[in-house]
Amino acid sequence: MSVEMAELQKKNGIPPIQFGEEVTGAETLLRCLILEQVEYIFGYPGGAVLPIYDSLYGSYFKHILTRHEQGAIHAADGYARATGKPGVCIATSGPGATNLVTGIATAQMDSVPLVCITGNVAQSLIGTDAFQEANITGITIPITKHSYFVRDIRDLPRMVKEAFHIATTGRPGPVLIDIPKDVANAKAPFTYPDQVEIRGYRASLVPSDEEVQEFVEAVSEAKRPVILAGGGIIAAQAEKELRDFAEKTRIPVINTFMGLGGFPGTHELSLAMPGMHGNYTANQALLNADCVIGLGARFDDRITMGRTKEFAPKARIVHVDIDPAELGKNVETAVTVAGDVKSTLAKAIPLAKACDSEAWISQLKEWREQYPYKYKKDGDVLKPQAVIELLYNSTDGEAIVTTDVGQHQMWTAQYYKFKHPRSFISSGGLGTMGFGFPAAIGAQIAHPDRTVISVVGDGGFQMTNQELAIVSQYNIPVKVAIVNNQCLGMVRQWQELFYDNRYSQIDLTCSPDFVKLAEAYGVKGLRASTPEEAEAVWAEALAHDGPVVVDFRVAQEENVYPMVASGNTLDQMELGDD
Amino acid sequence: MQRHTISVLVNDQPGVLTRVATLFGQRGFNIDSITVGGTEEQGLSRMIITTGGDDRQINQLMKQLHKLIDVISVTNLSENPFVSRELALIKVTASPSQLAELNGIVEPFRAAIVDVGPSSLIVQVTGDTEKIDALLVLLQSYGVIELTRTGSVAMARSIVPATAAATV
């Protein structure tokens, strides 16, 4: 063990680890986690992980007992997104493991570093359809970055070391370690490898000088350039480099949904979010640009609308991504750099010069002023967009905000101007309802002193609202803002627009009384139905030193605009009614 | 749609075949044939996979394959001259009296009759896919009762400098 590690352990009150001591697989696992500087574990016990939970008993770890394994993995995910550190969760075999599946897929789609530990039945029972047996490594092959089934306790330390390395390097992602019960119970002298060696695995990609030179040249001649900055900026911690690069080259910045916060939404060069529910200016910028510079973005179909030939029709596309498979995957590119976006930009900044883009910038500014996000205020009716504006104004854009999936998610992305990376936490790729609330718990645990708001719909909240038990138990002061329109709003919107108002299975009017539900868990519950009430109630919520659920009763028939309908291109944008 | 022969060098770990096969399905590719076996280095296996797709699709597939942790390298053999061999066993309806006639058919293909029964016999043939297909056409007139093929094993020809092969 390194000297620094030993000092760190001493400082944090972590017990010194005896190497060479004969310990069980379960104890081996926990010692490995200590050496990986894991502090929080989100999990749920069960038969196959009894040895692990026995070792956890009285240990240094802070274990958060969620009320469902899905809550555990989303909380670990929120923790990881809020910190950049890997999230760790534990579940038992069979149903415990399969309950992680949605969370694993969520993390994989958004490139979130997770280490998921599952128990399995003893190897003597593997393959016999034993009680609570599931082939979780097989089930999760398409949705993990990698996975391990531990056959021998002597492999466990190497596998844990590799799992953390793989989860956190390159393009991050979830790694699963499946430990059969006999391995957890077996004994071996404790060791931990100093280094990881995985043949053929490229942990980081620093671009060559030639590649960077080509990148800079491709960009510098542009007169109507625009940067499309994705979640890769946040994963690479490249926000400063992005800002320096954009300011020096005078290139406006569009943030993808996953990239929100990677560039300050309040910056004069910020064009906010593009795509299906993006704003007019960002989409016009893509339509009219002569050069689109994708930085850690993957040109997904909510931006290209799946019409990749018609996407950015006047532009050469320059693409930087740490994942070589993303280059040329969705759109035709002129110049590509397979590399870490932080080191690419750091190398590019000294070489870059200002583009001749001032006319373009003032055109964009004009559009921005002419076509802001807008909605119609309606007297005493509480509009959902007004709720998000209230959240933004009351926190000056400094809160960590998680969302669920649907209309409220889009309104949050539109009306909350994120200034900092890791402030906006949402399931962008998979679009997982039920993600937002447990993710907020993980984020709040990582940042106990920051305001953490979980914006949820009345639909998605009910998928994981059992985790109210843990915000109560551990006094985690998450502020839950339910944008309650008493229906599945995004589905309703599509049924209104594309299915002739045939509202099929969207009615949620018989949801529980969310104030009482909160109170049943010992959590403060509040309700607001008018803009005035909303302001008062929200102030009370923010002032409350503990978790709060606020039930914002909003207008039901509100649609998210702008909108580019499925199958259309970005120039066919509906701006909504005034 | 062009056919491609891809050589994938992998760690000989449990589940590696599943990972590779799953990736093909996940990304919408069909595996026409696949062979797996040992290599010059202990602990590594080589998979030879034939599949179809245009250049862009195959390029994407190769990059995705390379992202699998247990995959060490991926080479598209079809981009340069390569040697490809397949073995097939073909059970043909024939009586022992037809042996000489059938020998006359299989010999030009350097194939051999490796089993003779009262009403059928087995032809063993090695070669590239086209050669085996050609022999099959000839044998079909006798009646093919059963056919089993190994899929291709393949290797880049030595005259090609190693650096010229497209490797991800």
Statement to judge: residues B19 and B69 lie in one domain: yes
Q: Does B168 touch chain A (CB under 8 A)?
A: yes
Q: How many domains does chain B have?
A: 2
| Min Cα separation A47/chain B (Å) | 25
Across the interface, do B69 and A201 touch by the CB < 8 Å criterion?
A: yes
Whether the per-residue pLDDT at A505 is higher than 60: the answer is yes
Inter-CA distances, A244 with A21, A127, A240, A270, A343, Å? 51, 56, 6, 13, 13
Statement to judge: residues B69 and B110 lie in one domain: no
d(CA B72, CA B79): 19
Mean pLDDT over the full length of chain A: 96
Q: Provide mean pLDDT across the span A238-256.
A: 98
Residues A52-82: pLDDT tens digits?
Answer: 999 999 888 999 999 999 999 999 999 999 9
Statement to judge: residues B62 and B114 lie in one domain: no
Clarify whether A181 is annotated catalytic.
yes
Statement to judge: residues B100 and B64 lie in one domain: no
Clarify whether A490 is annotated catalytic.
yes
How many CA atoms lie within 13 Å of A365's alpha carbon, on the beta-carbon side? Answer: 11
**Chain A residues in contact with B71 (beta carbon < 8 A):** 200
DSSP E strands, A418-571: 424-425, 452-457, 479-484, 524-528, 548-553, 563-564
Statement to judge: residues B70 and B91 lie in one domain: no
Residue B164's pLDDT is: 55
Residue A473's pLDDT is: 96
Q: Which of A297, A290, A289, A249 is nearest to A273 (CA)?
A: A297
d(CA A437, CA A70): 11
Instruction: Look at residue B128 and tell me if it is in a domain.
Output: yes
Q: Provide mean pLDDT across the span A415-427.
A: 97
Statement to judge: residues B87 and B65 lie in one domain: no
d(CA A5, CA A36): 10
* Residues A134 and A94: beta-carbon distance below 8 Å: yes
Domain A3-189 CATH superfamily: Thiamin diphosphate (ThDP)-binding fold, Pyr/PP domains (3.40.50.970)
DSSP state, A263? S
The torsion of the CA quartet A388, A393, A399, A405, rounded to 10 degrees, works out to: 10
- Residue tagged active-site, from A258, A305, A463, A490: A490
| pLDDT tier at B163, thresholds 50, 70, 90 | low
Q: Does A142 touch chain B (CB under 8 A)?
A: yes
Residue A14's pLDDT is: 73
CATH code for position B32? 3.30.70.260
Q: Which residue ranges make up each domain of chain A?
A: 3-189, 209-370, 384-568
Statement to judge: residues B88 and B145 lie in one domain: yes
CATH code for position B91? 3.30.70.1150
Across the interface, do B66 and A324 touch by the CB < 8 Å criterion?
A: yes
For B110, the domain range is 83-153
Task: Report the residue count for chain B.
Answer: 168
Residues A466-502: pLDDT tens digits?
Answer: 999 999 999 999 999 999 999 999 999 999 999 999 9
Across the interface, do A201 and B19 touch by the CB < 8 Å criterion?
A: no
**Chain A residues in contact with B9 (beta carbon < 8 A):** 200
The torsion of the CA quartet B126, B130, B136, B138, rounded to 10 degrees, works out to: -110
Question: Angle CA(A149)–CA(A122)–CA(A55) in degrees, nearest 5?
Answer: 85
- Residue B12 exposed, middle or buried by CB count within 10 Å (0-12, 13-18, 19+): middle
**Chain A residues in contact with B59 (beta carbon < 8 A):** 328
Query: In chain A, helix, strand, coil percent, each to 5?
Result: 40, 15, 45
Residues A310-333: pLDDT tens digits?
Answer: 999 999 999 999 999 999 999 999
Q: Provide mean pLDDT across the span B68-81.
A: 96
Residue B161's pLDDT is: 59
Statement to judge: residues B32 and B75 lie in one domain: yes
Residue A200's pLDDT is: 86
- Residue tagged active-site, from A69, A133, A211, A558: A69
DSSP state, A146? E
Q: Does B24 touch chain A (CB under 8 A)?
A: no
Fold of A209-370: Rossmann fold (3.40.50)
Q: Please report, rounded to a whole number, the percentage of residues in chain A having pLDDT higher than 90.
A: 94
Residues A7-30: pLDDT tens digits?
Answer: 666 666 677 888 999 999 999 999
Whether the per-residue pLDDT at A343 is higher than 60: the answer is yes
Whether the per-residue pLDDT at B166 is higher than 70: the answer is no
Instruction: Look at residue B93 and tell me if it is in a domain.
Output: yes
Statement to judge: residues B53 and B114 lie in one domain: no
d(CA A528, CA A382): 8
Residue A456's pLDDT is: 98
Helices (H), A199-357: 209-220, 231-235, 239-249, 280-288, 301-304, 341-348
Statement to judge: residues B31 and B10 lie in one domain: yes
Statement to judge: residues B90 and B129 lie in one domain: yes
Q: Please report, rounded to a whole number, the percentage of residues in chain B having pLDDT higher than 90.
A: 92
Mean pLDDT over the full length of chain B: 94
Instruction: Look at residue B159 and tell me if it is in a domain.
Output: no
Contact map slice: B 103-162 vs A, CB within 8 A = none
Residue B165's pLDDT is: 55
Is 3.40.50.970 the CATH classification of the domain at A384-568?
yes
Residues A111-165: pLDDT tens digits?
Answer: 999 999 999 999 999 999 999 999 999 999 999 999 999 999 999 999 999 999 9
Last residue within a domain, chosen from B64, B79, B94: B79
Last residue within a domain, chosen from B79, B106, B140: B79
Structure tokens at A505: 């299975």
Whether the per-residue pLDDT at B162 is higher than 60: the answer is no
Whether the per-residue pLDDT at A366 is higher than 90: the answer is yes
Residues A181-202: pLDDT tens digits?
Answer: 999 999 999 999 999 999 989 8
A132: three-class secondary structure by DSSP: coil
Statement to judge: residues B54 and B119 lie in one domain: no
Last residue within a domain, chosen from B54, B79, B104: B79
Residue with structure tokens 């209104």?
A496
Residue A17's pLDDT is: 86
Inter-CA distances, A154 with A135, A136, A150, Å? 22, 21, 9
Residues A426-448: pLDDT tens digits?
Answer: 999 999 999 999 999 999 999 99
Of A348-362, A384-398, A563-577, where does mean pLDDT reach its minimum? Answer: A563-577
Print burial letters for B88-101: b (CB count within 10 Å at least 16), e (below 16).
Answer: bebbbebeeeeeee
Residues B31-63: pLDDT tens digits?
Answer: 999 999 999 999 999 999 999 999 999 999 999
Question: Angle CA(A428)–CA(A552)–CA(A271) in degrees, nearest 5?
Answer: 40
